[in-house]
Amino acid sequence: MNQDNHPAKSSIEKKFQRVALEKVARYRGLDRLTDFPRDLWQEMAAQGLFGICVPTAHKGHGKSFQTLVNAGKILTAAGGNMGVAMSWLLHEIVASWVIAAFGTANQKKQYLPPLAQGRKIACFAVSEPNVGAHPKHLSTTADKTSDGYVLNGEKTYLTNGPMADLFVVVAATGTTSGKKQFTAFIVSKTTPGLAITPPLEFPFLHPCPHGGIHLDNCRVTQEQILGEEGKAYEKIVLPFRTVEDTLMAGPMAGGLTFLFTQFIDQLNRASKRPDDTLVEAAAQLQCTMEALYAISKQMAAILETDMESDTLISLSLFFRAQAIELLEKIKELGKKTGMVPDQQTIAMQNDLSAVTRIAENVARIKLKKRGRSLFSTPDF
């Protein structure tokens, strides 16, 4: 085997492979659970699957975003479940990017070790009922007091919300020239005035839970401000989408790998002799799949140094479009060959479709912006 094309897995990647195969893949009914199993989360924590990019000074592994993408791909491809990867990844992003990048020294010391060890679960709380994350319509407020702020409002569609121990809450703290200014706060679930609302029921991404919080005169101190006061939307919320889209490419590549592997395995078990057309079609799918994985790693490498890079935006849009097309081609080839997908395969297909829809509007806006820059018509 060519060692350059198939490099040896790192110790972290080996851990992900083992846990995915022995724990995730063998967990019965995982794609039908609405709550993330605590025993599975604890097993992942015990095996060191959290804190991949958290600095070693704060009990993390201190690895790169590329390692995170590789781990996400392995977890999904070997485990056969996108929901587990989604919960794991969103927790990792809040810990290793939001808090690690914007937290004070005291905040990092207090929050990063338990997050990196999986003893605490983090959640990013921006979206609100009926308005999503649009800054003009966000109504959660943080009113200044003599010793801090009082939070009032409601957040929803929160990944890991029902099981989170702490929330990064984004709230309006004033206006400048008629434009809302937002500040982020680290708020524990035990804070008086914070209530976790009932979980939301989605027909996909099980067992990743989604829910919300209600804030009723929830008091926080000045020390709980995360990042620059009044700059949370520009500095944290907008870049968060880029970070999430980039790093989610790992689990997406893993999900496509899982589906392709299931298809080939089923054909082999059926002992059907493939004709040249099928052989070439399967090889083309594999080439596209491997190319997307290579792109996902390149995206992660760029994210390390320049998340506003035009190249990163281009690769992200290309990855998304090709992933959607590849998913449909795998499904189509399965139908043509008479392969009947099992429940796990159907769940993965639905999850991949759901993941690509999550950022559909954002991707369309980026494409329009890129397209308009190509034309010189003044009023275009």
Gap between the Cα atoms of 347 and 96, Å rounded: 29
**pTM across the whole model:** 0.93
Kindly give the residue spans of alpha helices, DSSP state H, lying in 103-248.
105-116, 232, 238-247
* Residue pLDDT, tens place only, 169-205: 999 999 988 899 999 999 999 999 999 999 999 999 9
Gap between the Cα atoms of 266 and 283, Å rounded: 16
In the structure, what pLDDT confidence band is assigned to residue 378 with cuts at 50, 70 and 90? low
Gap between the Cα atoms of 182 and 229, Å rounded: 7
Give the range among 2-6, 53-57, 147-151, 332-336 with minimum mean pLDDT: 2-6
**Rounded mean pLDDT of 317-327?**
95
Q: How far is CA 90 from the centre of its chain?
A: 5
* Residue pLDDT, tens place only, 108-142: 999 999 999 999 999 999 999 999 999 999 999 99
Do the Cβ atoms of 226 and 103 come closer than 8 Å? yes
At residue 2, the pLDDT reads 33
User: Can you list the positions of beta strands (E) in 117-255?
Assistant: 122-125, 141-144, 148-159, 166-176, 179-188, 194-200, 210-221, 225-226
Nearest to 139 by CA among 161, 171, 183: 171
Do the Cβ atoms of 267 and 333 come closer than 8 Å? no
* Residue pLDDT, tens place only, 250-294: 999 999 999 999 999 998 888 767 889 999 999 999 999 999 999
Q: Residue 191, SS3?
A: coil
